[in-house]
Amino acid sequence: MKFFIDTANIDEIREASDMGVIDGVTTNPSLISKEDGKFEDIIRQICEIVDGPISAEVIATDAAGMIDEARKLSQIHKNVVVKIPCIREGLKATKALSSDGIGVNMTLVFSPSQALLAAKAGAMFASPFVGRLDDISHYGMELVQQIVSIYNNYSFETEVLVASIRNPLHLVDAAQMGADVATMPFKVIDQIVRHPLTDIGLKKFLADWEKVKARS
């Protein structure tokens, strides 16, 4: 299972990358808007820190415009994967870009049928947004289970990238379901590493070691 970090914040990306568990990064216009600097420069900087798929989203909503933006974004670095929304024009763009060897992360996926279309169009990743479904009283993880099962039925190569993760249980459920990738905000990465018994255990070991040191 691959772990991506869902942020455009360079300090968070550096810290998570230093932990050695980050395989890629996802950004979106809202995350980019929280940081200073030009979009292209932020993406370039991220690519220098993490050697894996780095998602950068297009703004155009027509296929020609999306393709144009995607081509420019893919020039920034070989690892850039273009994020395209799951709309009709997005499918057209995905088909054209994936045929040209440009990786697409089909974003804003909220139904199994949309995920099926993303795979048919040749997307590298399909991103179901679990937290946003939970927010409107739908079980987001149910969608992930459906997509994993559909993709397995037909051996689609598109990877299931669980997005809009809000807590550690989303990650554990995604792993149990066999999702290929989970993208998490830094806060969730920090939450999954922590366990009170680890902290208590470490404190006790260090206290006991003081007794050993006192002997010499």
28 binds ligand E4P (CB under 6 A): yes
Query: Shortest distance, CB of residue 185 to ligand E4P, whole angstroms?
Result: 7
Site for ligand E4P (CB under 6 A): which residue of 67, 148, 163, 189?
Answer: 163
125 binds ligand E4P (CB under 6 A): no
| Residue 71 in tokens | 């081509």
What distance in Å separates the CA atoms of residue 45 and residue 10, rounded to the nearest whole number? 8
Residues 45-64 binding ligand E4P (CB under 6 A) are none
118 contact partners, CB below 8 Å, separation of at least 6: 86, 91, 94, 106, 109, 126, 158
6 binds ligand E4P (CB under 6 A): yes
Which letter does DSSP use for residue 52 in this model?
Answer: S
> Which residue of the set 38, 83, 95, 213 is catalytic?
83
Closest residue by Cα to residue 147 from 136, 135, 133, 137: 133
158 binds ligand E4P (CB under 6 A): no
Residues 61-80 binding ligand E4P (CB under 6 A) are none
Site for ligand E4P (CB under 6 A): which residue of 52, 65, 131, 168?
Answer: 131
13 binds ligand E4P (CB under 6 A): no
Q: Which stretch binds ligand E4P (CB under 6 A): 9-17, 38-46, 127-135, 201-209?
A: 127-135
- Angle among Cα 4, 95, 2 to the nearest 5 degrees reads 15
For residues 188 and 16, is the Cβ–Cβ distance under 8 A?
no
Q: Which stretch binds ligand E4P (CB under 6 A): 8-16, 44-52, 93-101, 125-133?
A: 125-133
4 contact partners, CB below 8 Å, separation of at least 6: 22, 23, 24, 25, 26, 52, 53, 55, 161, 181, 182, 183, 184
196 contact partners, CB below 8 Å, separation of at least 6: none
Size of the site for ligand E4P (CB under 6 A): 11
For residue 83, indicate whether it is catalytic: yes
Which residues are designated catalytic?
Answer: 83
Which residues here bind ligand E4P, judged by CB under 6 A? 6, 26, 28, 107, 127, 129, 131-132, 163-164, 183
